[in-house]
Structure 1
Amino acid sequence: MVGRDEQIDRVEQALRKANSGHGGALFLVGEAGIGKTRLAMLAAEKAAELGMRVLRGRGSTIGPMVPFRPLTEALLSLFRGRSLPEDSALTPYRPMLGRLVPEWGQPHAQHGDSLVVLAEAVLRLLAVEGRDGGCLLVLDDLQDADAETLAVVEYLVDNVEYQPILVVATIREEPSAALDLAHSANRRHTGDILHLTPLGRAEVAALVAACLAVEPDAVPPSVADRLFADSAGNPFFIEELLHALVSSGMLARGVHGWRVVGELRVEVPAALVRGIAHRTDRLRPQGRALLAVGAILGHRFPLSVVQQVVGIDDRTLLAQLQAGIAAQLIMPDEPGPDWYTFRHPLTAEALLAQLTPSDRAQLSGRAADAVEELHPGLPGQWCALVAALRLAAGDPERATLLLVDAGRRALAAGAASSAVALLDRARELSIGGGDVEVRADVLESLLPALAETGAFKRALELVDALDELGGAGLGALRRAALHTQLAKVAHSAGRWSDGLTQIQKARMLLGPDAADEHTAPVDTVAAFLTLDSPSPGRTRIATDLARRAVVAAERVPLPLVACQAWQLLGTLARGHDLDESNECFSRANLVAEEHQLPILRIYALLRLAGNHCLADGDTTGLERVRQEAYRLGAVTVVYTVDAILAMQTVLFGDYATAGQQVADAERAVTKLHLVSILRYVLLARATLAAHQANRPEMERALAEFDRWDGAHSPELPLAIGLARVFCALLEEDAEQVRLELAHAAVVEKENPSTFHLAGPHGLYLLLDVLAGRADWPQFNEVAGAAASRMRWNRHFVELARAVLLGRACRIAEAEAAAAAAREAGECFPTAYHLGLRLVAEEADAHRWGDAEAWLRGAEEYFYRAAVAPAASACRALLRQIGASVRQRRTGADLVPGGLRALGVTVREYEVFQVLAERIPNKTIATRLHISPRTVEKHVASLLVKTSQPSRTALTEYAVRTLR
């Protein structure tokens, strides 16, 4: 660590901060061999001294890029032989962590969540491990890491500030995504860059002296000068070149210390290669073969594979390993006893440079055979490694198949960027020749991988490649399946017309007599595309397609397709028959259970619980689903339920709790980039503001909703009905209500909503009836739908029924309908009082209900809620029907709600408070600076309003009330 005092101080400061709970990130940047790894190793040593947990992993350029390899190595370095820590904070994230350490996963786990969810899982794991003293994550050679690893690292760097975690990463100072990440973090002040610069002349001399175990002044000046000049101050080059000088005898130890023998002849970088070659030449042929095979496998290699290729016994293997260690070429790799690593990454590259092309091809083929024999099925990273070995061995056909398999596995594990890289390589190898079925396999896997990475444009451009496969003789069934894949991509991209075009091509290829196993997937994708394509008849067409898909999928069977289609049918049935919707979701649940599809099962349970909540306003089922999703690690489902519960809490009128729920959910889903859930949470935030007549906050929330493409999303009707219309009603702005209703009508006509609380089946019907735009025919049409029987809607529908019955002089029936409305709406206080305020004038005009009591209750509610326009409107209507109206003086909010509901004024309440002291009227008058006659007047009014028989009884009532 010569010349690194400043950097060491920075590392120690960061470690102490992490040890005390304040994390950070350090990027050690410099050229290859400059000492980044040694500084990182020093950080690990010092962290261990502080009692911190230490994890180490490394990127690699040798062999194919393996998703999450540095992170997997890091976790194994600490957890090999250990199970996942038992901590409730990790429970829902266990399936994601199973991507990195398979034994931590769960049987049949599905990894459909984003990389950000995986990054959050790693963050929580590190936080748990560092809870008692901090945690250090060292990632060496980050410039060679895959895109998924970099995404996780960036997330960690941005979120460790208040965690006991220090991230230390080494990066070569050359253009790379990792270096861009470091500079970006530095600009955001979430990570610091420590540049390791070349050593100066004096520092080179000090380093050489340390290597030779002498004082700096005992180093021959010519040696220090030459090494300084030829190494450019690079410590690794200095050490390697110094080793070559000693090995060649040009620098020798004599009686009087080290001296130069002959002329110093050193070249860089060829000298580095020669130095390593010189060291390997001293080994036996078996030792050289061992190192060559190790280099073929990468910078770290398993002894089992090397031994299989070289063909030596355990005793000889051990002897050659010891020789390699003594030559400072290799060393044991800490994560496992069977693994070794080269001392420097450049060592493996230098060894490969010594091999002839034919030797390298031969060794690669033998290594591939050995891996396949030792690891049947090529689990984990072995598949990608063997693909690279087969390619190096001159077998591109087998390499292509393996790359396709590796790409599929990477995509299944959520590593979409790595999947694209692997499949792109496979496509390059397959273009211009090879089996057309293999080319189809590549394309079939590449399309969803591109969609997962958001490269929709590039994916859709592959339609030409699909047409080329048709010209090359690919069968119609395979081409139809590929067109269906393209349709899925188009659906994900929101390009519904392009998707339907691909569906049409798939159907043409299949023909009218295609088997169910081919038509069912096409119909399912077509149903989803149709449902999301703005059109008046979309729900009917989507229903027909989904029903046909279900029948075919169950006949084959295709459980995944059947489960998806049943859930779509349940969603479509929700608006017209809740029982049918529940039956569809129950069928989806049974299929998912039978075929072990846990994520689809939890979604089916979520939708069943959602139906129950819509019908009765009961969120118990949703809470149970959330617990089950949490147990399974279905994080997306957990946050979906959180969003629904937040919206329900808004409708229940518990605005303080709802505000906290919305804030928590928005923070979480924004952090995890769950866009569809985020839009719903933003609608909950807008609804929360609208139901408090807070238009500025509502507009801010809806502007954020639009920023996430809300104006073109299925949730738009909710933004109008639950937020904009509601806010305008509370503001008593009739013109704004008219404009919003007109907008809602246009949106609903162009694209009927599957969000059934938006208004057409409840609030809008009541407003149309009150305005004379709807009578019994329109009422019966709307009220006959299942959506109108959902509890939120039922409240408004029953009020509309009461109005129509009252106009028909069917008073008893009108009052029964009003009672039904109050029963349905009692759990939605704002909607309940708004509804009563809206119908009170009709009730008074046609002599049904209790308009005065309704208006007084609504006025009290809106006054306490600080919704002044609605409260003022209630007071105006009270005057209009001839009822007395209480004064609203300053300080009225200090009067308890029960007394305020009785009409007790601020001044009367002041008298009421003093009465509890059991003092006479004259003393009260003196205390309050008013006349005794005024006190008598207030006491008389209090007796009437509180229905007390005497002043004594009123006094006792005051004592009890105030207590």
Structure 2
Amino acid sequence: MFVGRTDELDTLNVALARARAGEPQALLLGGEAGVGKTRLVEEFATAAGRHAVVAVGGCVEIGADGLPFAPFSTALRALRDALPEEFAAAARGQEEELARLLPDLGEAGAGRHDEQGMARLFELTARLLERVAAEHPVVLVLEDLHWADASTRHLLAFLFRTLRAGRLLVLASYRSDDIHRRHPLRPLLAELDRLRTVRRIELARFTRAEVGRQIAGIRAAEPDPAQVDEIFERSDGNAFFVEELAVAACDGCCAGLTDSLRDLLLVRVEALPESAQRVARVVAEGGSTVEYRLIAAVAQLGEDDLIEALRAAVGANILTVTPAGDGYRFRHSLVREAVADDLLPGERSRLNRRYAEALEADPTLVPADARVMRLASYWYHAHDPAKALPAVLDASVVARRRHAYTEQLGLLERAMELWDNVPEEVRSALRPVDYTEVYPPCGCDPATPLRYLDLMAEAAVAGRFGGERERALKITKRALRLLEDDPDPLRAAWFWVQRSRLVQALARGDGWQELATAQDLVRGLPPSEVHAEVLALAAGWSMLHRPGREAFAAAERAVEYAHMVGARDIELHARLTLGGLKVDAGDTETGLAEMRQVLRDTLAEGVHYVAGRAYVNLPSELQSIGRDREAVPLLREGIAFARAHGQMDAESWIRGNLSEALYSLGDWAEAAETAGHATRVGHSAKPRGQGALRLAHLALARGDLAEASRRLAAARAHYGTHDPMPQLSLPLARVALGVAAEEGRIADARAELLQALDAGFPPGTQRYGWPLLRAAATAEAEARSLPAAEPGRAGILDRLGEAVRTLTTGVPLWRAYEQWTRAELRRAKGTDTADDWSQVVTAFECLDRPYELARVRHRLAGALLADGGDEERDRAAELLRLAAAVAAHLDARSLADAVARLAQRARLTLTRAPRQALAAADPAAALGLTSRERDVLRLVSAGRTNRQIAEELFISPKTASVHVSNILSKLGVSGRGEAAAVAHRLGLFPAETLTARTAG
């Protein structure tokens, strides 16, 4: 009989109702051992099965080891069995990657192992669940998290953080009294407690009344109140203990019970026949669940005797048959733990040896996906180093293939522990090719025996990939000490490269000192994969930190060496870096062509992680030279690619770049939405920081200084201070300077500028340097009338002028920024003229940047009004009207307010355009229409729909819609018909031209 738990069941049922309505739910169910968690889950799952597909998986304990991803593998298998067609459709195209979780899908792809490997698998798993749950409500139950391996914990945390769609409910249970201060589940629970989307349920013990109802259900009769009092007092309301005490009382042995918990748990086991007790001991040491055939091989009983022993154990409610019907498990884990703890030390190792020998003799005794891990555990706990070392190493390979890097690290550490206790002849028979994958020096001679250093190398990388960076750093330190006694430059350089990456990941520095040491070690050595990787990483580091000739030379040599030794991945990486350096150095088309070719090559060859980087870097270089519209389709393509291949960091970087491009092109609503996505999807801190920075920039432009400051602080927290890069520090300084200037803190604004000027603008950073210099010049111009700004003004203006003279102006965008900055500097001195601003407006009219164009039009209008003539007033009014339209469309409140104040002072009306301006020689330019907007307006005038416009101009319908909205705003009209009428009245498109160009 199910007793109590009304409130908890209500909570679960409400969550299921929300999940069925399309709002994913995440719940944690905690409680001490025996309090009734499994019973509650079973009751809920039975009822939920009428409305949803219920997939249950439990964490598996084998000795002291958990199986990687065991609960997810079991649950996904159940989900596939329940919804085979839907599951197959959701997994289509990603079967090789998802096979790491569910081997039934086929052979897991070899793939590439990197720090994003686990994140890719997690992203694909989340998308799989969302797709399967799109039409069918799904309840995913994961039990016994206190036994969960690290990979399972990481995947669960990822799901709880990222699930945003699908009719899905995820319920995870754990034993709260096992979560001691150092338990690995404890940090996860603390992290999940901070998520508003996760609800936590704690099961309390039964009250006396509930204990009475439970006893009545067990005995099928009303119990004696005195007995209820006694059992309630002794059990303290723990449901499992209540049952044990009640059954013991029914069997007439209550008087013989002691107060020892272990004795209470063993009392029913000790009442079994000796053969049944023997079988119970065998099952207890075999793991959470043990297959029947394996029990038979280890127990060494006749078949009839074994079945009778199992029947007795099942009949006494000690063991229960597994749901699949192929094995047995203890009905409650507390009893299994008590039986296992009662084993003698020699008895335990002997049982583990029997398990291992049986499994070696017949590998089919256990499921294929668990065989290697269980064999490693059995041999290790049998205390046989010679047998355990190869088994543990085999298990480490399986863990690596499943991207269970933390488990791989633990197994490799176990192998290192066993190493010295293994006979030399056993060690010499092991080969690096069988157990290592990420350590190039191992591949020099396949016949060379496996070395201790090889294990350390594999363990260091496993720790880096699995997030166990402190453990990995200690391993590299030990390895480099060993290499001091036995010098090997290639191996040492390889370990220094790992230290560089770990130091950066741990925020201990920028990693250059370690990379420089690696370069010194390989200098003068023949080309090798390690040599090529060191050069490629040095070039990539320099491109981000100190671009210049050294970076260029390193990238060229990396390409050459990688090609010579056949290291294709490294070659593609280095070529991509080299292309970016060429663009930054002014060889624009050559560099872009190289980067485009790398993207094509990586897609054709399936080098997905380099392709992900290409989708970040190539559009970024296009944006750096003002070709944002050309970059947008690539960025959208890159987002789709990154999502399809689970590259969350790449997706976050791409979304940040797309947000910047959309900002430049005047689609601020989508820019904000895209930046918000970037802050959520990134696996690492820096890509999420870029999204926060884009949001800060948008908030500043919209005049929301509080939001800008908040987002700026978030970006700084994500970036940290350990690894300064111009591409991060300069945009941060630009926003910080803008916020300080808007708040009247001119001293703080100057401090941000001086810090940037002191650091300098390395080659390739002009895309970040020009906006910063322009913002600083604007701040000085705006503060010209403030007495507090006068001290130090001359020095600041001199520094700005010097920086303007030295910064590159190789493309139209940078030249336009140079002219704008110089005009602002003259305004700061009170010497700017309408001619100055007219040149700036002309420069920006050739660019596709409506916000910047509106701002400089506002400046030109102010200069024209200062001249005071009627013609100047008419032109100023038209410029202000255009600027106001853009500010209103973008919700750029600061600009809108500035335009309104200027118009009010000049007593100008901004509601319609003066006839003189409309009759200008180039009315389209006067209206602020870009070349693309002219093309769109031409098709609007011809009666085309947004979809037809998109097809003719090779853009998306959404982009066409954005252009139409911008056109309506700039023309000051409310509909497409009015826009066509204005175009006709102004003679923008002669009838014969329109007919000739649209007839096709």
TM-score bracket, normalised by the shorter chain, equals: 0.7 to 0.9
Corresponding residue of 2:329? 341
Structure 1 residues 569, 840: CA separation in 2 closer, same or farther (over 3 Å shift)? farther
Q: Kindly provide the CA deviation profile for residues 743-770 of structure 1, in whole angstroms up to 9, marking residues without a partner as x.
A: 5433334x555573542899699999x9
Structure 1 residues 406, 655: CA separation in 2 closer, same or farther (over 3 Å shift)? same
Q: Is 1:197 aligned to residue 205 of structure 2?
A: yes
The aligned runs of 1:64-213 (5 Å cut-off) are: 64-80=65-81, 83=84, 85=86, 99-103=100-104, 107=109, 112-113=115-116, 134-154=137-157, 165=169, 167-174=171-178, 175=180, 176-178=183-185, 190-197=198-205, 200=208, 207-208=214-215, 210-212=217-219
Cα drift, residue 400 of structure 1:
4.5
Corresponding residue of 2:356? 368
Match of 1:565 among 564, 570, 574: 574
Corresponding residue of 2:36? 35
Q: Which amino acid aligns with 2:656?
A: A
CA distance in 2, matches of 1:728, 1:210: 71
Contact in 2 for aligned 1:243/1:275 (Cα 8 Å): no
Structure 1 residues 763, 379: CA separation in 2 closer, same or farther (over 3 Å shift)? farther
Contact in 2 for aligned 1:183/1:193 (Cα 8 Å): no
Aligned to 1:165, the other structure's residue is in SS state strand
Cα drift, residue 558 of structure 1:
1.7
Structure 1 residues 702, 379: CA separation in 2 closer, same or farther (over 3 Å shift)? farther
Cα drift, residue 519 of structure 1:
1.6
Contact in 2 for aligned 1:15/1:47 (Cα 8 Å): no
Cα drift, residue 42 of structure 1:
1.6
Cα drift, residue 299 of structure 1:
0.9
Structure 1 residues 565, 319: CA separation in 2 closer, same or farther (over 3 Å shift)? farther
Q: Kindly provide the CA deviation profile for residues 463-517 of structure 1, in whole angstroms up to 9, marking residues without a partner as x.
A: 5422442367585543443233223222433545765246526744x57334523
CA distance in 1, matches of 2:12, 2:272: 36
Contact in 2 for aligned 1:680/1:715 (Cα 8 Å): no
Match of 2:589 among 558, 575, 579: 579
Cα drift, residue 566 of structure 1:
2.2
Contact in 2 for aligned 1:488/1:499 (Cα 8 Å): no
Cα drift, residue 629 of structure 1:
3.1
Q: Is 1:782 aligned to residue 808 of structure 2?
A: yes
Contact in 1 for aligned 2:543/2:577 (Cα 8 Å): no
Contact in 1 for aligned 2:884/2:899 (Cα 8 Å): no
Match of 2:882 among 818, 839, 861: 861
Contact in 1 for aligned 2:272/2:312 (Cα 8 Å): no
CA distance in 1, matches of 2:292, 2:264: 29
Corresponding residue of 1:687? 697
CA distance in 2, matches of 1:433, 1:507: 36
Q: Kindly provide the CA deviation profile for residues 299-332 of structure 1, in whole angstroms up to 9, marking residues without a partner as x.
A: 1134565566678999998887666644544434
Structure 1 residues 822, 369: CA separation in 2 closer, same or farther (over 3 Å shift)? same
| Percent identity of equivalent pairs | 22
Match of 1:707 among 702, 705, 717: 717
Q: Is 1:888 aligned to residue 888 of structure 2?
A: no
CA distance in 2, matches of 1:159, 1:760: 35
Q: Is 1:597 aligned to residue 597 of structure 2?
A: no
CA distance in 2, matches of 1:776, 1:243: 90
Structure 1 residues 699, 858: CA separation in 2 closer, same or farther (over 3 Å shift)? farther
Aligned to 1:485, the other structure's residue is in SS state helix
Contact in 1 for aligned 2:231/2:242 (Cα 8 Å): yes
Corresponding residue of 1:632? 645
Q: Which amino acid aligns with 1:191?
A: R
Corresponding residue of 1:4? 4
Structure 1 stretch 828-837 or stretch 13-22: which is displaced more?
A: 13-22
CA distance in 1, matches of 2:194, 2:711: 29
CA distance in 2, matches of 1:131, 1:458: 41
Q: Which amino acid aligns with 1:136?
A: V
Cα drift, residue 386 of structure 1:
2.4
Structure 1 residues 661, 853: CA separation in 2 closer, same or farther (over 3 Å shift)? farther
Contact in 1 for aligned 2:712/2:736 (Cα 8 Å): no
Corresponding residue of 1:216? 222
CA distance in 2, matches of 1:146, 1:674: 22
CA distance in 2, matches of 1:523, 1:378: 45
Q: Which amino acid aligns with 1:341?
A: R
Structure 1 residues 95, 490: CA separation in 2 closer, same or farther (over 3 Å shift)? farther
Corresponding residue of 2:45? 44
CA distance in 2, matches of 1:496, 1:149: 31
Q: Larger radius of gyration, structure 1 or 2?
A: 1
RMSD of the alignment, in Å? 5.5
Aligned length: 852
Corresponding residue of 1:394? 383
Q: Which amino acid aligns with 2:846?
A: A
Cα drift, residue 575 of structure 1:
0.5
CA distance in 1, matches of 2:128, 2:685: 25
Aligned to 2:139, the other structure's residue is in SS state strand
Contact in 1 for aligned 2:145/2:174 (Cα 8 Å): yes
Corresponding residue of 1:792? 813
Aligned to 2:34, the other structure's residue is in SS state coil
Match of 1:269 among 262, 271, 275: 262
Structure 1 residues 773, 706: CA separation in 2 closer, same or farther (over 3 Å shift)? closer
CA distance in 1, matches of 2:602, 2:706: 45
Q: Is 1:519 aligned to residue 510 of structure 2?
A: no
Contact in 2 for aligned 1:559/1:592 (Cα 8 Å): no
CA distance in 2, matches of 1:582, 1:831: 26
Corresponding residue of 2:288? 299
Contact in 2 for aligned 1:500/1:529 (Cα 8 Å): no
CA distance in 2, matches of 1:172, 1:48: 27
Q: Which amino acid aligns with 2:101?
A: L
Structure 1 residues 870, 733: CA separation in 2 closer, same or farther (over 3 Å shift)? farther
The aligned runs of 1:45-64 (5 Å cut-off) are: 45-51=46-52, 53-60=54-61, 62-64=63-65
Cα drift, residue 293 of structure 1:
5.2
CA distance in 1, matches of 2:336, 2:594: 59
CA distance in 1, matches of 2:177, 2:140: 21
Cα drift, residue 664 of structure 1:
4.1
Cα drift, residue 625 of structure 1:
2.7
Corresponding residue of 2:501? 488
Match of 1:649 among 662, 673, 678: 662
Q: Which amino acid aligns with 1:139?
A: L
The aligned runs of 1:924-943 (5 Å cut-off) are: none
Aligned to 1:888, the other structure's residue is in SS state coil
Q: Kindly provide the CA deviation profile for residues 379-412 of structure 1, in whole angstroms up to 9, marking residues without a partner as x.
A: 7544433222111122235534554554565466
Corresponding residue of 2:933? none
The aligned runs of 1:708-723 (5 Å cut-off) are: 708-709=718-719, 712-716=724-728, 718-719=730-731, 723=735
Q: Which amino acid aligns with 1:4?
A: G
Q: Kindly provide the CA deviation profile for residues 51-80 of structure 1, in whole angstroms up to 9, marking residues without a partner as x.
A: 453434235363412333223333333334
CA distance in 2, matches of 1:8, 1:729: 54
Structure 1 residues 81, 320: CA separation in 2 closer, same or farther (over 3 Å shift)? farther
The aligned runs of 1:373-388 (5 Å cut-off) are: 374=363, 380-388=369-377
Structure 1 stretch 123-132 or stretch 165-174: which is displaced more?
A: 123-132
Q: Which amino acid aligns with 1:546?
A: A
Contact in 1 for aligned 2:68/2:149 (Cα 8 Å): yes
Structure 1 residues 429, 695: CA separation in 2 closer, same or farther (over 3 Å shift)? same
Structure 1 residues 453, 758: CA separation in 2 closer, same or farther (over 3 Å shift)? farther
Aligned to 1:193, the other structure's residue is in SS state strand
Corresponding residue of 1:824? 846
Q: Which amino acid aligns with 2:266?
A: V
Structure 1 gaps of 5+ residues are: 252-259, 804-813, 879-883, 904-945, 947-955
